[in-house]
Structure formats: structure tokens, C-alpha cells
Amino acid sequence: MADEVSVLVEGGKASAGPPLGPALGPLGVNVGQVVAKINEETKQFAGMRVPVLVKVDAATRAFTLVVGRPPVAALLLKEAGKEKGSGKPKSETVGNVDLAAVRRIAEAKGEDLFGRSIEEKMNQVIGTCVSLGLSVDGRDPRAVLAERRGRGREGAA
């Protein structure tokens, strides 16, 4: 029987304090080893919150990690060099990302996004730009989406 502990940690900065330490301590695993492994596997997501699932085998006290991916919004904000999105996304733009970054994020998120093709997944990422107040290639993301949808229909006709 395996016990599971699910936490959100800042990439590369997990600590033995709450929420990890108190959750893992009673399971009998070496909390220091778990924290070191989490930090090693999440260091590329520095500055972003990353979902981590720690599975502990109660009999052997061995553990395995399942490291998730940061949310699309966090990846977009990192790409734009911003701490947070706009409070008024329909009228206030706080930053810009290019279409190449949108594609990289869609590819990185992979199966976490809905959609059959990379184009559909990119449209989801662009939709997140709308709610964050980010422009795409210096343009309103809604205009970029409308243009992309128009191209998709022409190709299907």
C-alpha cells in the first residue's frame, strides 16, 4: 500500500518545512532525501510553482516522485518576464510573447492541454494570453486567434 502526498512547491526551492515535512515525517521516509530529489527535478522551473506527487511505499519506505508541469499562465508570465498578469486584461496589456514561445509552451504542456493538434493547443495558450493581458507578437491575442481560425477554415474547405 502506497501513501501519496501532493504539494505545490516553488521550482528548486522545496524545504523540509510545511507542507512537505509534516506530511512526509509520519510516513517514515528521509525528508531530506525527498526534498533534495524534488529540488533537483524542479530546478528548471525556478520562480514557478510546480505540482509534485510523492508516492511512499509504506513497507519499504522507498519513494517515487511525479513532477507535474507549471500552469500555462506561469510559463507565459515567465516568457514575458512578468510577475503577474493584468488586473484589467481586456483594456491593459502588461507584456508580450512571440508565437514561437506560444508553440514551445504548447509543446511542453503536451497532453495537459486539450486539442488534437499542436495548432489547437497553441490556440489554448493564446487564449490564456487574453486573460493575462499579454499580447502575441505585439498584437491583441483575440485578433491572432481570429486570424488563426480563419486560416483553419480555409484549409478545411
Domains and CATH numbers, the chain: 2-67 (3.30.1550.10), 72-156 (1.10.10.250)
Whether residue 14 is predicted with pLDDT greater than 90 in this model: the reply is: yes
pTM across the whole model? 0.72
Joined grid coordinates for residue 110: 503536451
**49-86 pLDDT, tens per residue?**
889 999 999 889 899 999 998 889 999 999 999 989 99
**103-117 pLDDT, tens per residue?**
999 998 988 899 999
The region that residue 25 occupies, defined by phi over 0 for left and psi between -120 and 50 for alpha, beta otherwise, is alpha
